[in-house]
Structure 1
Amino acid sequence: MVLERAAISSPQLRELKAARMRAEATPNDAAAAIAYARLAIELGRQQADPRFYGNAEAALAPWDATPAPPLEIAWLRAVLRQQRHDFDGARAELDALLQREPAYAPALLTRAVIHLVQGRPRDAQRDCTALIGQASVPIIGSCAAAALSEQGQAEHALRTLAALNTQVSAGIPFDQRSWGLTLAAEINARMEHDDDARAAFDRARAAIAAAGDHDPYFQVAEADFLLDQHEPAAVVERLRNETRNNNALLRLTLAESQLPDAASQASAKKHIEMLGERFAATRARGEATHRREEARYLLELRHDPDAALKLAVGNWNVQREPLDARIFLECAVAARAPDAARPVLEWMKQTGIEDPRLHRLAAQLPGGGS
């Protein structure tokens, strides 16, 4: 029986091993620790494997008690808090860092992203503006578009991204362009511009493949779009080998459960049990990184809207992105609990977010469409 699969060998893993050896040989060398931590964080992102984040935390541990560590170490510590969904802790770390160096671009960008995750697009926009002159045009433009898209200016954001994704020089590194490519697809999908969304997802997927990158975030975003388009077979085709990533496994299972053949139904049943075990293990470790996905699991696969709503409420206290709002409202509608949805409805009014699906869900709640 296969209990766990080791990470696939690659030049990056060999580079990580060499960096780890250098960091361990000189445990108080900030440059060596930073190099190792950055590589570990990137591999954690690419493989959706939190163990790499633990490796990065260990490398930075010698500076835990330092009141004013090197800027990059403070920033990386915030990034690691962000990965654990300790958004308040990450923001506090970034606030302190930016008090020391107000123009430190990585901290401004990370704080902007955290503001977006926590449902504060206006605060995010301020940090995006502060990046002018400190970061590349693709980063600034994508940051601004993400903030605008949640403030009633989705079409403006899409025009910004269209110009950005068309005009950006081929010499710009892919990691600076990838956000804009995926973001254009997500906003089009949210606005239900289905043809434009499909074309944008196709462009982003082709660019990711050409760069030799592996982007779990993109894979999940595209899977959500395909599920909304009632194309479960396409989701299975794309995600059948992505079962190590809980977010991807959830979408794969949702797709399998919608296919009528016996093999898909059997696989869905196996994956439902697997997800249940993984979510239970996450809770046992005291982690809160998958509450949104577990709420969706309970609602759509276990058909338990009351339990799903409890998780959606807890998740909303931590993160408030459009998808969090959608799952919360879906749970509230299914559980027939309109009062529970008030925080989401207030957030929608405050931000002015344009999202037809959110507004349809709100209209299904007594008083929600007012």
Structure 2
Amino acid sequence: MPFPALRVLQLNGEAISGGIGEDIPPRIAPVLRKLHLTRFKLDEEYQAMVFSNLNFPWGQITHLTADCCNFEEAETGEKQLLHIQMFLNNFPNLQILTWLFDEDKEDEEEDWDVGDVELDGKELKTLNIRGMNSVTVPLLGRTRAPNLQKLQLNLLDGPYAQDWQSDDSEYTTSEASQRSWSPHIWEPGFLETISNFIDRLHDKGSMTSLVLHGIYDLPVLDWIQQLPNLRVLSVHLMDRALVKYLTWSGPNRTLPFLESLTWSFDSVATKTEDQRIVKMVKSRTNPTASSVTAPQTRLIRIRLLHEPQDAEIIKKSFLVKYLEAVTRISLEIVDLEDLEWHPLRLYE
């Protein structure tokens, strides 16, 4: 049965048996472009079965999502990056690639066997990864995507910033008087991997979207400073260093083309911290005397995310009340409980 107009196909690997799809002619889906694979066991044997029996025109796929797919070798239990390379070789024209890995704490201590593998992504424009550090680092470290425009990372085991008090005492939680979390042992490698990934871009000015969820206290500003033409920026917390960076104005305005800014509501931040953010927003929305020579402000959307338990705090927040009065900004408070859990969707 042909599907001459089929553009999107979703397949569940748990429902596919060895004999499905045999002798399907390629012309069954001549305009297929988007493929979403869920729970496929993509070891070498299973891949051979799938791509030989399901004779779809894989080469014409431009959007691919691998959702909770298992790349482990059945005999050794070791994760093989080679299997991902074999998998991606079937899709030479990918432009948008999304990896959604299970939130499995047991995988945290396991290593990937990367060997001499390089993942070719020369056509990639968008890369989304949701996973533990143990999978994010090998994927980013071995992926060559020099023409990437959008990078979205959701780190499932990121370092949490617990109750702490800053040097100038603007955080005044009663539970703590100093930072109480210890850096993860893998943090240096994680930071180096992302820095190297950005360094491999042919043109850093071509990156227009950076989404970092679950990163928390890692120094994301170092990466943001290397990407001067960002239009979309999403971070977990709007820390003081980032607010200061975004507040620079005049002819040397930072991120002059920024249109969308997303961050999570910080329920322990003081009014002083909120005032810093408000000042930053005003600096990017109100005309200034230097606007004739400086790039025009283009910040048109703010997304402020919050957990359900913070709803009442948000209603009384100085920050929210002030931003509601700024008519040039669309303030969107997202209750995470009202959405099917999909972190990448939240930050698109």
TM-score interval, smaller chain: 0.3 to 0.5
The structure richer in helix per residue is: 1
Q: Taking structure 2 as the reference length, what is the TM-score of the superposition? A: 0.36
